[in-house]
């Protein structure tokens, strides 16, 4: 009740406050709750210390969060800035040519053209229609409206193939740029750069200017708060589907892989003799792989076997198994001369030993240089066993990566907790230091690769005595011994459970180099083996029918029946 109103009992205006309730001063009638206008009266009767929250002067200037089309446009600008940072690092630290950014920028402009309808407000949407102004009453307006609707519908259907960019799409665009420039870069190498933070990927929002990040909506901030590290297989799939988008939406024909240098790099990385390189190229003349990204309509049935790097690695695996079978210790195969393939023997247990030694040296080199990839895999048990220097390096990396870097009004709880324990800002490592660190690691890695390859050539390779054709026929006639030639009794692996020992170690490393899982590589190799078997069957069929051209018809039918 208003303090100026009369008491309904006695008509007086005097009031008294008691216990938060208004009473009439004359008759004591309860008039209702008291309305406190004074802050002192509001705190009357409270005990203890009153603590008032201190207003943050920065937060008093609350930043506006953009939503709708304007917010989406701001998100695309932030994503484009991350794309530029990644290309800048790949060029200046990774050593890629400066033309890469121009190519990647053009690819991004194409994709952005299909997303324009998401952040451009149509003019007609701001005009309210009245019931009396129905365009259906005008035939000319109806034709014009239908035409505009059809054009807009076609544009939306074409743009539907292009979704909003995700965190991995920027790295996939970077790889497609190297593909257009015909650079021999593997997906595994690009993934290693992400792990080592050569190409920034973890929490890319820390690289976005505060003028942009403070206005981003929470859903866009979450999309840019990438804290998990993708696997090489996820990057492989992201590259494949990004290539599919450009193939379907823009009718773009991407060039194939630069086969020769990539094939040489993979063979050298597996520490295999050069004979594997030659035989793999000969096998490709049979299967006819083009090593390019096909359209999705041709690849959704068998996505693994359509990966270009999977095709390339399957040829390497088959060539290695033909030249150096894993069962050579109990099944001997003799060439007819030392110049033929198969004259060399590879000690697979020794090869496995050198592989383990190489991987251990690489891990130690990463730990010495404190690469971020080592910190990402650190667990709580590993922290307890760290030295003081390693712990300082880990905490410095965590501060650079996960501490709050942008002031926002809607900061998360972990960021608010970090603000309660402020630490001094660290100076960002100069670009020259990053370049020198990356260069030193690459030199050390290449030296270890050459050391492993020399060890295989000197310690694991040996020659065997050839058996001529005449001697092989004599052995069959004398003792009934059949001399096996290289390539016979080829062992095909159909399932992972069929792998063990050196074969499993070889398949596992080959899968890692081609950014595949072990199961994917087994299926890719089996797919290529079936193509070679079909080619051999076709060759035998042609030879059979060519020989039957000079024979009688009944002899041809009889021979075909016997072969079947």
Q: Pick from 412, 401, 68: which is nearest to 221 by CA?
A: 412
Give the model's pLDDT for residue 228. 77
pLDDT score of 423: 62
Phi, psi of 164 (to 5 degrees): -65, 145
- List phi, psi (to 5°) of 517: -80, 165
Quote the CA–CA distance of 169 and 329 in Å, as a whole number: 47
CB 521 within 8 A of CB 313: yes
pLDDT band for 416, please (50, 70, 90 cuts): low
Q: What is the mean pLDDT of residues 53-63?
A: 49
Q: Give the confidence band of 139 by pLDDT, cuts at 50, 70, 90.
A: very low
Name which of 150-164, 183-197, 285-299 the model is least confident about: 150-164
Q: What are the two backbone dihedrals, phi and then psi, of residue 16, each rounded to the nearest 5 degrees?
A: -135, 150
Helix axes 308-323 and 518-547, enclosed angle (nearest 10):
70
Indicate whether 181 pLDDT > 80.
yes
For the packed helices 99-114 and 232-249, what is the interaxial angle rounded to 10 degrees? 60
Domains, the chain, in order of start with CATH, read 1-49 (2.20.25)
What pLDDT is recorded for position 191?
A: 94
d(CA 84, CA 170): 9
- Lowest-confidence pick of 55-59, 78-82, 361-365, 506-510: 55-59
The 10s digit of each residue's pLDDT in 455-509 is 999 999 988 887 777 776 777 667 666 767 777 788 889 999 989 899 999 999 9
Give every CB contact of residue 67 below 8 A, 6+ residues apart in sequence: 217
Is the pLDDT reported for residue 281 higher than 70? yes
Asked whether the beta carbons of 276 and 320 are under 8 A apart, the reply is yes
Provide the pLDDT for residue 223: 83
| Tens-digit pLDDT profile for residues 225-269 | 877 788 999 999 999 999 988 988 888 889 999 999 999 999 999
Res 394 pLDDT > 90: no
Q: What is the 3-state secondary structure (H, E, C) of 142-154?
A: HHHHHHHHHHHHH
Mean pLDDT, rounded, for 155-173: 72
Look at residue 296 in the predicted model and tell me its pLDDT.
45
The Cα 563–Cα 557 span in angstroms is 10
3-class SS at 458?
helix
- How many other β-carbons are positioned within 10 Å of the β-carbon of residue 403? 18
3-state class (DSSP) for residue 31: strand
Question: For residue range 85-104, what is the model confidence (pLDDT) as tens digits?
Answer: 999 999 999 999 999 999 99
pLDDT given at position 329: 77
Residue 532 has pLDDT above 80, yes or no: yes
Give residue 61's pLDDT band: very low, low, confident or very high (50, 70, 90).
very low
CA distance 43 to 167: 52
Q: For residue 293, how many other CB atoms are within 10 A of its CB?
A: 26
What is the pLDDT at residue 2?
Answer: 52
Name the more confident of 176 and 558: 176
pLDDT in tens, 196-215: 888 988 888 888 888 888 88
Tokens 């690489």: give the residue: 362
Residues 405/398, Cβ–Cβ less than 8 Å: no
Better-scored residue on pLDDT, 285 or 382: 285
In tens, the pLDDT along 515-527 reads: 999 999 999 999 9
**How many residues in the chain?**
564
pLDDT at 256: 94
Crossing angle for the helix pair 259-269 and 275-287, nearest 10 degrees? Answer: 130
Q: How far is CA 211 from CA 160, 193, 416, in A?
A: 31, 28, 20
| d(C-alpha 152, C-alpha 160), whole Å | 12
DSSP states of 110-138 = HHHHHSHHHHS--GGGGSPPPTT--GGG-
Q: Give the C-alpha separation, 491 to 494, whole Å.
A: 10
Distance CA 354, CA 456 (A): 7
Mean per-residue pLDDT of the chain: 77
Percent of all residues in the chain with a pLDDT value above 70, rounded to a whole number: 70
pLDDT for position 165: 87
């Amino acid at each position: 009740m208003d303090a100026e109103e009369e008491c309904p009992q006695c008509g007086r205006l005097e009031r008294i406050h008691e216990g938060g309730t208004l009473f009439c001063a004359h008759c004591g009638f309860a008039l209702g709750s008291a309305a406190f206008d004074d802050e002192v009266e509001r705190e009357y009767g409270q005990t203890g210390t009153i603590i008032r929250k201190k207003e943050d002067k920065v937060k008093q200037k609350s930043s506006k969060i953009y939503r709708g089309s304007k917010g989406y446009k701001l998100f695309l600008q932030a994503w484009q800035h991350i794309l530029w940072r990644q290309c800048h690092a790949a060029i200046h630290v990774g050593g890629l040519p400066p033309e890469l950014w121009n190519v990647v920028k053009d690819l991004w402009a194409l994709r952005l053209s299909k997303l324009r309808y998401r952040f451009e407000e149509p003019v007609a949407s701001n005009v309210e229609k009245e019931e009396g102004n129905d365009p259906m009453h005008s035939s000319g307006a109806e034709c014009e409206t239908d035409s505009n609707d059809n054009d807009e519908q076609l544009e939306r259907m074409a743009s539907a193939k292009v979704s909003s960019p995700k965190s991995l799409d920027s790295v996939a665009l970077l790889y497609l740029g190297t593909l257009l420039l015909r650079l021999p870069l593997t997906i595994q190498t690009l993934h290693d750069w992400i792990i080592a933070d050569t190409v920034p990927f973890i929490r890319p929002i820390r690289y976005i200017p505060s003028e942009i990040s403070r206005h981003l909506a929470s859903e866009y901030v979450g999309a840019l708060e990438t804290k998990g590290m993708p696997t090489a297989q996820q990057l492989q799939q992201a590259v494949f589907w990004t290539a599919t988008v450009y193939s379907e939406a823009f009718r773009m024909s991407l060039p194939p892989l630069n086969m020769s240098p990539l094939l040489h790099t993979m063979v050298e990385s597996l520490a295999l003799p050069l004979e594997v390189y030659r035989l793999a190229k000969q096998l490709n003349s049979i299967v006819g792989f083009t090593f390019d990204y096909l359209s999705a309509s041709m690849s959704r049935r068998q996505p693994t076997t359509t990966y270009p790097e999977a095709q390339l690695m399957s040829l390497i695996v088959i060539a290695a198994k033909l030249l150096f079978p894993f069962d050579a210790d109990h099944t001997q195969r003799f060439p007819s001369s030392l110049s033929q393939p198969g004259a060399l023997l590879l000690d697979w247990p020794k090869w496995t030993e050198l592989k383990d030694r190489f991987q251990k040296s690489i891990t130690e080199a990463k730990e010495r240089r404190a690469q971020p990839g080592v910190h990402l895999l650190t667990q709580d048990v590993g922290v307890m066993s760290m030295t003081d220097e390693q712990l300082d390096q880990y905490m410095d990396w965590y501060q650079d990566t996960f501490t709050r870097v942008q002031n926002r009004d809607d900061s998360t709880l972990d960021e608010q907790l970090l603000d309660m324990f402020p630490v001094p800002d660290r100076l960002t490592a100069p670009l020259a230091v990053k370049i020198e660190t990356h260069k030193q690691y690459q030199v050390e890695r290449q030296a270890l690769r050459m050391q492993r390859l020399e060890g295989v050539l000197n310690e694991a390779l040996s020659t065997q005595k050839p058996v001529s054709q005449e001697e092989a026929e004599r052995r069959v006639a004398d003792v009934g011994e059949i001399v096996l030639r290289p390539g016979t009794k080829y062992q095909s692996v159909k399932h992972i459970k069929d792998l063990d020992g050196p074969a499993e170690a070889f398949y596992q490393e080959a899968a890692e180099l081609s950014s595949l899982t072990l199961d994917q590589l087994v299926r890719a190799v089996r797919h290529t083996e079936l193509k070679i078997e079909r080619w051999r069957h076709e060759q035998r069929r042609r030879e059979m029918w060519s020989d039957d051209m000079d024979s009688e018809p009944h002899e041809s039918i009889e021979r075909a029946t016997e072969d079947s």
